[in-house]
Amino acid sequence: MDETINRAIQLFNETWDLLDKTDRTTEDDITMLHKTHTSAFLWRTANKPVNNARGEWQVSHVYSVLKYGAPALLHGESSLALCLENGIGGLDLAFGYEAVARAHSVLGDAAKSAEFKQKGIDASADVSDAEDRAYVLGELNSIE
């Protein structure tokens, strides 16, 4: 199981490397989608709700960055549901709301985006680490 988790972490981080790449190509985008989906799948085999929520969040984020609203919303709602159903709060809950807000923004639903953005801002109040709270608020405030 440790090998599976290590691979999930590696793919999660490699996805971030691709997200941060300023000159990403179409091939990079496809690779990024494969990496984030594989990472999320591997987290599911570990069967820990918090990791599942994080994996779903990253898949949603990638789809939002690529402007694919429907799958971004599907995975964002999955991340948020995992948090709500399993009592996961703090940073993960705030990011669950952020994923749904960002997906609604991509879909052009400003009202829903604003609703979930505000829920994320409210949830960020329970993020105990100041740097983490500032980071999630920065992500929430970057939603157009």
Number of neighbouring beta carbons within 10 Å of residue 106: 23
Q: What is the pLDDT of residues 61-94, one digit of tens each?
A: 999 999 999 999 999 999 999 999 999 999 999 9
CA distance 35 to 125: 32
pTM: 0.95
Residues 80, 52: Cα–Cα separation, whole Å: 10
Number of domains in the chain: 1
Could you tell me the residue range of the domain that residue 137 belongs to?
2-141
What local confidence, expressed as pLDDT, does residue 1 receive?
64
Q: Which CATH number characterizes residue 29's domain?
A: 1.25.40.10
Query: How do residues 109-121 score in pLDDT, each as one tens digit?
Result: 999 999 999 999 9
Which residue's structure tokens are 């300023």? 22
Euclidean distance between CA atoms 123 and 142, whole angstroms: 17
